[in-house]
Amino acid sequence: MKPVIFGLSGPALTPDERAFFRAAKPAGYILFGRNVQTRAQVRALTDSLRELEGRDDVAILVDQEGARVARLGPPEWPAFPAGPDFDRLYELAPMSGIEAARANGHALGLMLAEVGITVDCHPILDVARDDTTDAISIRAFGREPMRVAAMGRATLEGLAAGGVVGVVKHIPGHGRAVVDSHHHLPTVTASAEELEDDLAPFRTLAHAPMGMTSHIVFEAWDRERPATLSPVVIEQVIRGAIGFDGLLMTDDIDMKALSGSAGDKAAGAIAAGCDVVLDCWARMPEMEEIVARLDDIAGVSRARLDRAMATLTPPAGDMAELLDKRDRLLALV
């Protein structure tokens, strides 16, 4: 198995992808809008990945948060709200905000499990600020670490009840970035003491099965390298100060915050201490380059992956009832 999660080019595996993935044995796959059309089609696609791997516990990921960050959407699937909606309810009634987030996560899990998706890249635990880039602020659960952690925990619990593994992101925190890492490399100048607020939600949820790094330079820890490529940040901050011991994946290495070839970025992330690399765009030359540059997955990383996927439980619950509960609570605002 190679320590990489690959994207797919379309709504079904191509013959070239099937042959490549069979030989490469990636750690998992991630779906985007180009891969989803109908419930039956997505289920057939995920079933084909399980058949290819010869096992049921394949890590099949999607970014399904709500609002703008949703790969499965209307009219085939219901629209879901984003973090700020729950933040506004929490401001009025904290327990109601937490319960709404839990019901929302549970419904998300049921929706994804129905079509064979096993991992949701959610919840986002970034603590928002006045100048946080819109790429994060429109998704965040709020500006107060305890609040973010509480609704993040509820979302993780909801996803698990729905039969899906959650991924906390973007470790060690994206809230101080004032530019979008999809297009630029953010640099954060806050002190280590100030960054304690950003670490707090991740520390609270350090038991999460999976986490995703941020492509951000934190000058307090490493002035030269973004977190994804920094052994200092990964070993001393994420594994050390935060205490996270779940599967650590990169954010998409194609984002413009990182420079270099696909192979360079993938090898750099693994060398820095990430367990797996996320490469989303299904460009065959880049995927071949990544596989050529990476050794087989390390034993400790494979154990983290297996441990995370072992948390999968059969989905249970009524989606209509969960959505009704969530909507009744959100209507209180």
User: If you write DSSP's letter for every residue of 129-178 in order, what string do you get?
Assistant: -TT--HHHHTT-S-SSHHHHHHHHHHHHHHHHHTT-EEEEEEET--TT--
The number of folded domains in the chain is 1
Residue 119 lies in a domain: yes
Query: In whole angstroms, what is the distance from residue 292 CA to residue 263 CA?
Result: 8
Query: In whole angstroms, what is the distance from residue 139 CA to residue 123 CA?
Result: 10
Residue 184 lies in a domain: no
CATH classification at residue 85: 3.20.20.300
Residue 221 lies in a domain: no
Query: In whole angstroms, what is the distance from residue 219 CA to residue 50 CA?
Result: 42
Which pLDDT score, from 0 to 100, does residue 180 have? 86
Q: What's this model's pTM, rounded to 2 decimal places?
A: 0.97
Residue 253 lies in a domain: no
Q: Which domain holds residue 146?
A: 2-41+58-175+189-210+299-330
Residue 274 lies in a domain: no
Residue 15 lies in a domain: yes
Span 181-209, mean pLDDT? Answer: 97
Residue 289 lies in a domain: no
Give the amino acid at 38: T
Residues marked as catalytic: 182, 251
- State pLDDT tens for residues 134-168: 999 999 999 999 999 999 999 999 999 999 999 99
Query: In whole angstroms, what is the distance from residue 169 CA to residue 181 CA?
Result: 14
> What is the pLDDT confidence band of residue 76, given thresholds at 50, 70 and 90?
very high
Q: Locate 187 and state its tokens.
A: 């640099």
Query: In whole angstroms, what is the distance from residue 83 CA to residue 81 CA?
Result: 7
- State pLDDT tens for residues 296-330: 999 999 999 999 999 999 999 999 999 999 999 99
Residue 270 lies in a domain: no
Question: CB–CB of 249/219 below 8 Å?
Answer: no
Query: Which residue in this structure is represented by tokens 């490529």?
Result: 229
